[in-house]
Structure 1
Amino acid sequence: MASTVLLLALVLISLTIAFASDPSPLQDLCVADLTGAVSVNGFACRNPQMVQAGDFFFSGLHLAGNTTNPAGSKVTPVTVAQIPGLNTLGISMARIDYAPYGINPPHTHPRGTEIFTVIEGSLEVGFVTSNPENRLITKVLQKGDVFVFPVNLIHFQRNVGNCKAVAIAALSSQNPGVITIANAVFGSKPKIGSDVLVKAFQVDKNVINYLQSKF
C-alpha cells in the first residue's frame, strides 16, 4: 500500500513538472541580462547588486497603439524584453488596440495560456481545438468580459463594433512567443515550396503565389 501511494505521488509530481509553464524561480529575483553572452533557456541573471526599480517597471499601456495597418490592430507587449525583472517569473501581458472591424489575426502562443479582458468595445473571440475535431469555440465579449485561450491553440479576436476596442491580455510565460498563422505559412524565409502548399490547401499554384506575394 505504501509503495502504491509513493508511486502515485511520484506520478503526480511528474505531471506537475510536465504541465508547468515557465520554471519556478529559485531566488527572490533574476533580472534578465538581455545583453549577456551566456545562452540559457531564458536569460542569465544580472548581478543582484546592480538591480534597480526600473528593471521591474514599464510605462506605456495607457497609450493607444497605431492600428493603421491591414489587420487594423496593434499589440503592445510587456514581456521580459520590456521588463527584465520578469525573468523566471512566468508571466507577461499585452495591450491590444483594434480599429473598427479590425482583427488580431489567427495566431498561437507556443509557450503560454492567455487570459483576455475587454476594456473597451465589443470583440468576437475564438479558438480552435486540435485535430481531428478542429472545433471552433467562439463568443462575443463586451466591456469587462474575460475569456481564456489555452496554450498553443490557434485563436483570434475581431472588433464587431464601429468604434475602437481595447483589451488587456495576461499570459503564463515571461516570453510566450507568437506565431501568426498566415505570416508563418505564406511569409516564411525562405518560402515553403509552392507544391507543398498547393497540396496542403488544395488550391491552384497561382493562388499560392499570390498569397506568398502578400506576405
Structure 2
Amino acid sequence: MLHILFLFSLLFSAARGSVQDFCVADLTAPEGPAGYSCKKPAKVTVNDFVYSLSAAGNTSNIIKAAVTPAFAAQFPGLNGLGISMARLDLAPGGVVPMHTHPGATELLLVVQGTITTAFIDSASSVYLKTLKKGDIMVYPQGLLHFQVNAGGIPAIAFVSFSSSNPGLQILDFALFANSLPTPLVEKTTFLDEAQVKKLKAVLGGSG
C-alpha cells in the first residue's frame, strides 16, 4: 500500500511540475493567435494581476460613450486565462452602436442608470430589454448587439468576456469608416449615394 501511495505522489509531482500556474503577457513581444508570449516568472509581480476600472471614460465623442478595456493588452495577468472585463460609460443620449465580439460571449452588469439593449440572432430574432441597476444580460458569442442610455443620468456598466481578447467589430464603422467604394456600399446596404457619402464623411471613410 505504501508503495502505491509513493508511486501516486511521484506521478502527481511530475504532472504538477509540467503545468504553468499562469502566463503573464510579455507586452514587449508581438501578439499571436494564441495570445502573448509569457513573461519570465522572475519578472512577474503582483501588479500584473491587479487592474483598476474605477475611472470614468471620456464620453465627449460622437456616440457619447466610452469603453475602458481590461484585456490582456492592458491587464497582462489575464493572458491565456479566457476571461476579461471592461467598463462602459454612457452619457445621457449615449449609444454603443451595433457591434459584435467575434471571439467571446459577453455578460453585462448595470451598476448605475438604465440601459436599453438587445442582441439579434442568426434568424433575425430580436432580444430587447431595458436594464436597471443590478440587472445582468448575456450576449452570445458573435451576435450583433447594442447598448443605449435609456435615462437622463449617466449610465455605467461592467462587462465580462469569455476571452482575454474578445475582439470588436462595429457595424457602422465596418460599412462607412473605410475606403470601400460608395457604389458597392449602396448596393450592399440599399442606401442611396447621398446617405452613404454623409455617413462616410461623419465616420471618416472615403471612396
TM-score range, shorter chain: 0.7 to 0.9
Could you tell me how far apart the structure 2 residues matched to 1:103 and 1:139 are? Answer: 15
Question: Residues 201 and 38 from structure 1, CA distance in 2 versus in 1: closer, same or farther, beyond 3 angstroms?
Answer: closer
SS of residue in 1 equivalent to 2:173 = helix
Could you tell me how far apart the structure 2 residues matched to 1:38 and 1:209 are? Answer: 36
Q: CA deviation at 1:206?
A: 2.4
SS of residue in 1 equivalent to 2:183 = helix
- The residue type paired with residue 202 of structure 2 is K
SS of residue in 2 equivalent to 1:198 = helix
Which ranges of structure 2 fall in alignment gaps of 5 or more residues? Answer: 1-18
Task: Encode CA deviations 1:29-48: one digit per residue, 9 max, x unaligned.
Answer: 11111112585521111111
Could you tell me how far apart the structure 1 residues matched to 2:156 and 2:96 are? Answer: 11
- The residue type paired with residue 165 of structure 2 is N
- The residue type paired with residue 135 of structure 1 is S
- The residue type paired with residue 70 of structure 1 is I
The question of 1:145 aligning with 2:138 is answered no
| Corresponding position of 1:8 | none
Pick the aligned partner of 1:199 from 172, 184, 187: 187
- The residue type paired with residue 80 of structure 2 is T
| Corresponding position of 1:10 | none
1:97-116 to structure 2, matched below 5 A, reads 97-116=89-108
Could you tell me how far apart the structure 2 residues matched to 1:35 and 1:195 are? Answer: 42
Could you tell me how far apart the structure 2 residues matched to 1:145 and 1:39 are? Answer: 35
| Corresponding position of 1:20 | none
The question of 1:55 aligning with 2:45 is answered no
SS of residue in 2 equivalent to 1:156 = strand
| Corresponding position of 2:118 | 126
- The residue type paired with residue 187 of structure 1 is A
Report how many residues are paired.
185
- The residue type paired with residue 48 of structure 1 is P
| Corresponding position of 2:159 | 169
Question: Residues 31 and 214 from structure 1, CA distance in 2 versus in 1: closer, same or farther, beyond 3 angstroms?
Answer: same
- The residue type paired with residue 123 of structure 1 is I
The question of 1:80 aligning with 2:72 is answered yes
- The residue type paired with residue 156 of structure 1 is F
SS of residue in 2 equivalent to 1:49 = helix
| Corresponding position of 2:27 | 34
Task: Encode CA deviations 1:144-198: one digit per residue, 9 max, x unaligned.
Answer: 000001111110111110111100000000010111110111112xx11222111
TM-score (norm 1): 0.82
Q: CA deviation at 1:27?
A: 1.8
TM-score (norm 2): 0.85
SS of residue in 1 equivalent to 2:164 = coil
Pick the aligned partner of 2:62 from 66, 70, 79: 70
Question: Residues 102 and 35 from structure 1, CA distance in 2 versus in 1: closer, same or farther, beyond 3 angstroms?
Answer: same
Q: CA deviation at 1:101?
A: 2.1
Which ranges of structure 1 fall in alignment gaps of 5 or more residues? Answer: 1-25
Q: Percent same amino acid among aligned pairs?
A: 42
Question: Residues 200 and 66 from structure 1, CA distance in 2 versus in 1: closer, same or farther, beyond 3 angstroms?
Answer: same
Question: Residues 210 and 113 from structure 1, CA distance in 2 versus in 1: closer, same or farther, beyond 3 angstroms?
Answer: same
